[in-house]
Amino acid sequence: MIVYAPHLDTVSHVHGAHIYEAGYHVRDYYLKQWERFKHLPLGVLAHGTHLRGSGTYTDGVERARIAVTLATKIPAADCERLALGYMDPQTVDPSTWQGRENEGILYVPKAGETLYRVKT
């Protein structure tokens, strides 16, 4: 999954320090290392698992169901620290992703705006 948000330059103004400490991982990564993460807000850990989806953490190896790559202003070194991939947003042309569902590529424009939209 590629999160294309070329305007984004901050992970979180409120919880950024905690997110950088926790990273983005599958649930078992946190649970099997609970002593390391138990001091962090549970909402931060939940956020980390919501982005990464399901997966396993066995014998020190994390296997996520999906790989997550950021195409944002967040630097590559920060993405690596967060356990996320990096893509230079200047090299991205989202139109090349459109209409390719038969290839397993789903383009969802403005997904962040509709993910939690409340129906009225």
Q: Is 102 among the domain residues? A: yes
Q: Is 119 among the domain residues? A: no
- How many Å apart are CA 62 and CA 45, to the nearest integer? 15
Q: Confidence band (pLDDT; 50, 70, 90) for 2? A: very high
CATH number at residue 74: 3.90.226.30
27: its two tokens: 């649930």
CB-neighbour burial class of residue 90 (10 A; exposed 0-12, middle 13-18, buried 19+): exposed
Q: Kindly report, residue by residue over 56-84, the tens digit of the pLDDT.
A: 999 999 999 989 999 999 999 999 999 99
This prediction's pTM: 0.86
- How many Å apart are CA 79 and CA 72, to the nearest integer? 10
Q: Confidence band (pLDDT; 50, 70, 90) for 110? A: confident
Task: Please report, for the chain, how many H helices and E strands are present, in that order.
Answer: 6, 5
Q: Is 13 among the domain residues? A: yes
Q: Kindly report, residue by residue over 45-55, the tens digit of the pLDDT.
A: 999 998 888 89
Q: Is 94 among the domain residues? A: yes
Range of the domain at 10: 2-114
Q: Is 37 among the domain residues? A: yes
Check residues 51 and 118 and name the one with the higher pLDDT: 51
Structural domains in the chain (count): 1
